[in-house]
Structure 1
Amino acid sequence: MSSAGGPAIGTITTEVPARLDRLPWSRWHWMIVVGLGTVWILDGLEVTVVGNIASRLSESGSGLPISDSQVTGLGAALYVAGACSGALVFGWLTDRFGRKKLFLITLAVYLASTAMTALSFSAWWFFLFRFLTGFGIGGEYAAINSAIDELIPSKYRGRVDLIINGSYWLGAMGGALLSVLALDTGIFPENIGWRLTFALGVVLGLVILLVRRHVPESPRWMFIHGQSDGANAIVEGAEKEIEEETGAPLPKAGRAITIEQRRSISFVEIGRTLFRAYPKRATLGFSLFIGQAFLYNAITFGFSSILVKFFGVSSGTTGYFFAVIAFGNFLGPLLLGRLFDTVGRKKMISGTYILSGLLLFVTAWLFDQGWLNATTMTVCWCVVLFFASAGASSAYLTVSEIFPMETRAMAIALFYALGTAAGGISGPLIFSGLTSSGVVSDAVVAFCIGAALMVAAGVVAVLFAVDAEGKSLEDIARPLSQRTKPTGRPAGPPSAPAV
């Protein structure tokens, strides 16, 4: 069956999911990781640079009439608001028009907005393009996580997703060290250095765009949306490349599903699926995002101010401390990621959330007692965030794999937007107010709020997390378009051509 203005729509039987899941790790998968995953480095660079240059932007010679609290408060909140808005808009478009079209568009939005931020001449211009930069980054979360999970074999999906999301902290390291160089007035004038940090983001984004052009569309999205021939061609190409690389034939997939293709899904059906069909999973996703969003957005945007106000660290050297913290953050997903595929999702998600929250309570108490200095505070944060970063990365993994294929990008966008709006917009505003007071007990309150939310999210994970390790996405959440249960029979009766 077909209709004008688009590909033919009908009922097909396909082995595409099973064929993708049985692939061994290869250069083809590395290309996907590099092309899609590296955008988190840009996000980390963006957020960290702004946090570390806040003090410099507020100085009279910066060329930008703006205060420290405006940068870390209003500017941070607008960036996150843009990310929430972009996630929702591009999330819906990603489910409707495909992963590849949107992950090219979202990166272009980021590039243009970051370039305009570097040219800021007034506070309103800076705020506008911080919002639009976030708008592009938010769209990236939905498009990229969808594509990654649909292209990576089930055996490796957990660790790959965590490490990719954790690569945010490589960007944070780069942003922290870059800010040290850019803020050195012996090298760059104070009204130029901070602009160059944003310009570097544009350069890195252009490099990523060149690689990303070669990343394929998701075959899973294609066969549901009437592009079964294209889906088959992509998988065949990957199989041929991998067989040539390994020198051995691939095993038979031996598993098929029957799909009634569709062009789009309504918001009503998305909402009904997420909240009526999967209420426990929806509660889980919301809780995980609130916990990590408040902790990370609040602390990341305010860390420089903490070092300067409470420990007397020079604004030009805070980047060194943050680079150390960022490295600890990256080590968490890197070293713990494999355990999410072996020990299991439920144990690792709940464990990392609860443990990081408890450690944050301990850090807050030590800080309140006056027993910390800039170095020991940094050590405490490294320990807390080693576990918290693995947990936070698992939030994106969770919402991208526990809902049906047709709602995946919108589910990521919705829970990211709801959780981040609750914790990521209010977090920076509340936290900047508490830390800017210069009163230790005020900052301790902010730490305890973040810790409590992380522990609460961990408890929700104990109750509702899904044992998704090693399972096909179609087994974790049956596609809305699926009309028969998966079979072990060869795909494709004559009336339903195999793909």
Structure 2
Amino acid sequence: MSSVETGRITTRIPARLDRLPWSRWHWLVVVGLGTVWILDGLEVTIVGSMSDALRPHDTGLGMSSWDVGFAGAAYVAGSCVGALVFGQLTDRFGRKRLFLLTLGVYTVATVLTAFSMAPWWYFAARFLTGTGIGGEYAAVNSAIDELIPKAHRGRVDVAINGSYWVGAAIGSLLTIPLLNPSVVSASWGWRVAFGLGAVLALGILLVRRNVPESPRWLFIHGREHDAERIVDDIERRVGEEAGERLPEPGEDEEITIRQRRSIGFATIARTVFTLYPRRTVLCFALFVGQAFLYNAFFFTYGDTLSSFFGVKQTGWYLAVFAASNFAGALLLSPLFDRVGRVRMITGTYVVSGVLLAVTGLILGGLSAVTLTLMGAIVFFIASAGASSAYLTASEVFPMETRALCIAFFYSIGTAAGGISGPLFFGWLIDQASEAKDVTGIAVGYFVGAALMVAGGVTEAFLGIRAEGRSLESIAQPLTAEDRDDPGDASGSDAPQPAHA
């Protein structure tokens, strides 16, 4: 991959974007990009709720509990592959091209899922759907953080990632009529549920077309004139809304960049593992903890309710659970800017892990209602922590590597926790069902709790105080004039002023 230097510029574009007041334009970014998590939540919830509908051979696909878990694992595996492939392309070809492409992949794959004729088709369609969603995580998270002002970045990122649960609530409620054979035929209900995801995606695509390319990406890749034009337009729109002239950034907020067409993959790898080893460990711990917890618990939650508590319509229970998750991310998100990243991430991970362990200890005495209540309490806190894993990965690495770093940690963490989790829980449910003892799945809760607590402890020691700071001050761009050659690993985490 070419990394030929094309020029050098001194710019205040990052400072100009960071000093903007919140405006309707920023809401456009939130709606156009952030709503992808609604799709992810919709997908995962529908799969979790459809376990009974997919079992019959005549109206479903003849799937077992293990098959349901395998479908979840296939989706997560696709997400990992999609994140890595599209993440690298996002850093190379730009945020906008990729967040349009990945949404298109998701839409096509969701339609294919709706037309599944056999388990193998369903598994393949779930894998392809996952590739689109995984690519979205890399392209969208990087674009959001590069467009949102530094004073609002923490709360916006956490809340947007938490909007996953809006989709989960929608999916849960949709399954109530769609799984009622008196309303919709049993052979069509689950297919319609998947098809509605594609309809929602098309609506998001119409809004997303109006979101511009990241000016930060443009000026580093030799397109400073396009970057200036976009920022001028944003400032004009925000200034007109504010009704006052925006203050000019100071000269001390300038940054000089050695422009390059692209940054080689080897340089990116050295950056992650050699230049920022502590941040690498931190992100890995955060992603593994939240991925195992959520993918293990939520992918199989509907199956747990139906297998052990005789619940026929799991939608109401899942909707309550989802509402609690979204409320937690939304209500706690401002504290990530006010109280700070390190305290909030540590607290949400450790407290939710301890509460999940307590739930496992009392599992034998719970009903469907009380289990849902305990889950709502645990994940009210955990949802904000899980969202902060994506915030951390998108903040603490250089701009040129941002999308691929998000993709890398999402893929590694999700592969470790998200693929093994659903398979492990699916196996536990099958074993516990034979013994007719719900406590047989408690060990899964304990593993998830331990991983969350470990992530919180890692944050306490290695966390980065990124609140209220520009992305360039947290991690200097590889192409910055006063940095050594991007391939030089002479820097480290230690002298970085962003470290707690």
Q: TM-score scaled by structure 2?
A: 0.94
**Aligned residue in 1 for 2:496:** none
User: C-alpha distance in 2, partners of 1:8/1:241?
Assistant: 34
Deviation, structure 1 residue 273: 0.5
Report if aligned partners of 2:3, 2:264 keep a CA contact under 8 Å in 1: no
AA aligned to 2:153 is R
Query: What residue is the counterpart of 1:306 in the other structure?
Result: 304
Match for residue 393 of structure 2 among 392, 399, 402: 399
| CA distance in 1 between partners of 2:308 and 2:369 (Å) | 12
Shift of 1:484: 3.2
Structure 2 counterpart of 1:52, from 38, 49, 52 = 49
Kept in 1, the 8 Å contact 2:3–2:263? The answer is: no
Give the Cα separation in 1 of the matches to 2:5 and 2:203. 36
| Residue of 283, 286, 292 corresponding to 2:284 | 286
Matching residue of 1:469:
467
The answer to whether residue 247 in structure 2 is matched with residue 251 in structure 1 is yes
Taking structure 1 as reference, are residues 75 and 219 closer, same or farther at Cα in structure 2, changes over 3 Å only? same
d(CA) in 2 for partners of 1:472, 1:344: 15
Q: CA deviation at 1:179?
A: 1.0
- The residue type equivalent to 2:230 in the other structure is I
Q: Which residue type is aligned with residue 286 of structure 2?
A: L
Aligned pair in 2 of structure 1 residues 25, 312: CA closer, same or farther (>3 Å)? same
| Equivalent runs, 1:368-447 vs 2, <5 Å | 370-437=364-431, 438=433, 439-447=437-445
Letter in structure 1 aligned against 2:305: L
Report the AA paired with residue 299 of structure 2.
F
Cα pair 2:53 2:60 within 8 Å, conserved: no
Match in the other structure for 1:207: 203
Q: CA deviation at 1:61?
A: 3.0
| Residue aligning to 2:358 | 362
Q: Is the 8 A contact 1:173 1:322 kept in 2?
A: yes
Q: Deviations over 1:189-236 (max 9, x none)?
A: 111000000110000000000000000000000000000000000000
- Counterpart in the other structure of 2:84: 88
Specify the SS of the correspondent of 2:116: coil
Distance 1:7 1:476 in 2: 26
Q: Which residue of 1 aligns with 2:64?
A: 67
Q: Is the 8 A contact 2:17 2:148 kept in 1?
A: yes
Question: SS state of the match for residue 12, structure 1?
Answer: strand
2:268 corresponds to which residue? 270
Give the C-alpha shift of residue 68 in structure 1.
3.4
Deviation digits for residues 414-467 of structure 1 (CA, Å, limit 9, x no counterpart): 000000000000110011100222233320000000000000110000000100
- What's the RMSD between the two structures over aligned residues? 1.3
Aligned position for 1:488: none
* Worse-matched range after superposition: 380-389 or 58-67: 58-67
* 1:55–1:68 Cα contact (<8 Å) kept: no
What does residue 497 of structure 1 align with?
A: none
Secondary structure in structure 1 of the residue aligned to 2:315: helix
Give secondary structure in 1 for the equivalent of 2:256.
strand
Among residues 476, 479, 483, which one is paired with 2:477 in the alignment? Answer: 479
- CA offset at residue 8 of structure 1? 9.3
* Residue of structure 2 in register with 1:77 after alignment: 73
Number of residue equivalences: 476
1:330-345 paired onto structure 2 within 5 Å: 330-345=326-341
Aligned match for 2:30, one of 33, 38, 51:
33
Contact 1:162 1:337 in 2 (8 A): yes
1:461-487 Cα shifts (integer Å, max 9, x gaps): 0000100000000000000000138xx
Displacement after TM superposition at 1:310 (Å): 1.8
- Matched with 2:316 is 320
Q: Distance in 2 between matches of 1:173 and 1:346?
A: 29
Structure 2 gap segments, 5+ residues each: 484-500
Q: Which runs of 4+ in 1 moved over 3 A?
A: 5-8
Structure 2: how far apart are the matches of 1:68 and 1:114?
22
1:161-172 matched pairs, under 5 angstroms: 161-172=157-168
Return the offset for 1:63.
Answer: 4.2
Q: Distance in 2 between matches of 1:251 and 1:22?
A: 8
Using the TM superposition, give the Cα deviation of residue 377 of structure 1 relative to its aligned residue in structure 2, in angstroms: 0.7
- Identify unmatched segments of 5+ residues in structure 1: 486-499
Partner of 2:489: none
Distance 1:151 1:345 in 2: 19
User: Aligned equivalents of 2:394 and 2:83: distance in 1?
Assistant: 13
CA contact under 8 A between 1:8 and 1:227: conserved in structure 2?
no
SS of alignment partner, residue 9 of structure 1: strand
CA distance in 2: counterparts of 1:324 and 1:152, whole angstroms: 31
1:124 to partner: Cα distance: 1.1
Question: Are the aligned partners of 1:305 and 1:436 in contact in 2 as well (CA < 8 Å)?
Answer: no
Tell me the residue number matched to 2:447.
449
- The alignment partner of 1:149 has SS state of helix
Contact 1:257 1:484 in 2 (8 A): no
- The CA distance in 2 between the partners of 1:63 and 1:302, in whole Å, is 18
Give the equivalent residue in structure 2 for 1:346.
Answer: 342
SS in 2 for 1:10: strand
Deviation, 1:181, is: 1.3
Aligned to 1:261, what secondary structure does the other structure show?
A: strand
Letter in 1 for 2:340: G
Amino acid at match of 1:210: L
Select the residue among 223, 234, 241 that pairs with 2:237: 241
Identity %: 58
